[in-house]
């Protein structure tokens, strides 16, 4: 029988793409989601892509008795923990909500995993833990920096909580995947990112501008110390990122009382202006944009060293930024104008 894997936040952007890859590799994903930042219609998209009915537990990961019931009924082999609030700016306005949701959900999960001797955990971390790095590309040994937002701090504290739990040597094997900038959508255009309201992230803003939902994109600064003056990021296709989770589960099969953090990126930096140019070239859409002031809190440039993910996970990206921009645009065109 297929191994059950609990996917908290499995109806969300990265979680839903990971559910597809889990099924493709013979696992039985069990989605646990309260739909605070996703739509039930995602389940229809997943069914169309995979041809399978996916088990869903609707509820809140911070609710221990609910999580105990999920574990009792599904007896999972492992957990991929995506469920969290993720908007950096909002976390500054609502620190308590962010600390509560992101940390209590992890604590409850670890407690329930222990009760059920479920010893495999893949955790969604972020390149935000590196802050404004002194060296590029950033390796996993690059020192982390004090987080500039409560959101970033929840990722650092979460990594510490997992590390300290593993150190008790009760068998838990865990990896924190430090994602760089996930973009794109499933090539079927049946699932993708569903930003609520005005997007903060670059690529949804680009596609919404091209679709006429937003009047104009503002490029936040062209006076950075980079070749074209705009910020540089490591944009990774969400399907590649999803596959990295399955590789990590397999890697953890032979691990006990083990913890590590691994970067998940392409290893290649792309500037904001390069994203704009590539998008125009691939889609044939002229993008209305202007150069504006820098956005507070933005790091100048960051991209991943991918040596470790290649070596230990035997994983590397197969898709390009161009593929991701094309898929993001195709997905955008399926969306009803909502806001």
By the rule CB under 6 A, 110 interacts with ligand NAD: no
Query: Least distance in Å: CB of 98 to ligand WQD?
Result: 12
With CB cut-offs between 5 and 8 Å by kind, which of ligand NAD, ligand WQD, none does residue 48 bind?
none
Could you check whether the bond before residue 195 is cis, i.e. omega within 30 degrees of 0? no
For the segment 263-282, give every residue that binds ligand WQD (CB under 6 A). 272
DSSP state of 151: H
Q: Which of 91, 102, 119, 181 contacts ligand WQD by CB under 6 A?
A: 181
61 contributes a contact to ligand WQD by CB under 6 A: no
Is 240 a binding residue for ligand NAD by CB under 6 A? The answer is no
Cβ neighbourhood burial of 254 (10 Å; 0-12, 13-18, 19+): exposed
| CB-nearer residue toward ligand NAD: 185 or 276 | 185
CB-wise, 119 or 154, nearer to ligand WQD?
154
Burial string for 175-214 (b: 16+ CB within 10 Å, else e) reads bbbbbbbbbbbbeebbbbbbbeeebeebbbbbbbbbeebb
What mask of x and - would describe binding to ligand WQD in positions 214 to 233, judged by CB under 6 A?
A: ---xxxx----------x-x
Q: By CB under 6 A, tell whether 121 contacts ligand NAD.
A: no
The entry of ligand WQD, ligand NAD, none near residue 219 (CB within 5 to 8 angstroms by kind) is: ligand WQD
**Which helix (H) or strand (E) element contains residue 310?**
helix 307-313
Residue 162 in the binding site for ligand NAD (CB under 6 A): no
**Cα separation of 219 and 202, whole Å?**
9
Which uninterrupted H or E stretch holds 105? helix 105-115
CA 28/CA 6 separation, integer angstroms: 9
* Cα–Cα distance, 11 to 18 (Å, whole number): 10
From the list 13, 151, 259, 289, the catalytic residue is 151
Q: What angle do CA 30, 17, 281 make, to 5 degrees?
A: 170
To the query of whether residue 151 is one of the catalytic residues in this protein, the response is yes
Instruction: List, by residue number, the catalytic residues.
Output: 151
The binding site for ligand WQD (CB under 6 A) comprises: 86, 88, 126, 128, 181, 200-202, 205, 217-220, 231, 233, 272, 295, 298
The binding site for ligand NAD (CB under 6 A) comprises: 9, 11-15, 33-38, 60-62, 82-84, 86, 101, 105, 124, 126, 179, 182
């Amino acid at each position: 029988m297929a191994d059950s894997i609990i996917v908290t936040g499995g109806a969300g952007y990265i979680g839903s793409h990971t559910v597809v890859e889990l099924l493709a590799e013979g696992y039985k994903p069990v989605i646990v989601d309260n739909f605070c930042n996703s739509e039930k219609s995602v389940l229809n998209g997943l069914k169309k892509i995979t041809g399978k009915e996916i088990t869903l537990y609707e509820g809140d990961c911070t609710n221990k008795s609910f999580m105990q019931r999920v574990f009792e009924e599904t007896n999972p082999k492992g957990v991929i923990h995506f469920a969290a609030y993720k908007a950096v700016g909002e976390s500054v306005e609502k620190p308590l909500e962010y600390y509560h949701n992101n940390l209590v959900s992890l604590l409850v999960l670890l407690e329930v995993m222990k009760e059920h001797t479920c010893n495999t955990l893949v955790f969604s971390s972020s390149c935000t833990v590196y802050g404004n790095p002194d060296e590029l590309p950033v390796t996993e040994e690059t020192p982390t920096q004090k987080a500039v937002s409560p959101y970033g701090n929840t990722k650092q504290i979460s990594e510490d909580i997992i590390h300290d739990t593993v150190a008790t040597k009760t068998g838990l094997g865990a990896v924190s995947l430090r994602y760089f900038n996930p973009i794109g959508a499933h090539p079927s255009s049946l699932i993708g990112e569903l930003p609520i309201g005005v997007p903060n992230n670059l690529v949804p803003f680009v596609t919404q501008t091209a679709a006429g939902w937003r009047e104009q994109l503002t490029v936040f600064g062209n006076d950075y110390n980079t070749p074209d003056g705009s910020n540089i990021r490591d944009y990774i296709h969400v399907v590649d990122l999803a596959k990295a989770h399955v590789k990590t589960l397999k890697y953890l099969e032979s691990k006990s009382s083990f913890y590590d953090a691994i970067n998940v990126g392409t290893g290649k930096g792309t500037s904001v202006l390069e994203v704009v140019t590539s998008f125009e070239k691939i889609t044939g859409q002229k993008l209305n944009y202007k150069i504006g002031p820098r956005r507070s809190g933005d790091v100048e440039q960051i991209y991943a060293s991918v040596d470790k993910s290649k070596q230990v996970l035997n994983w590397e990206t197969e898709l390009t930024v161009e593929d991701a921009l094309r898929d993001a645009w195709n997905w955008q065109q399926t969306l009803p104008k909502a806001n």
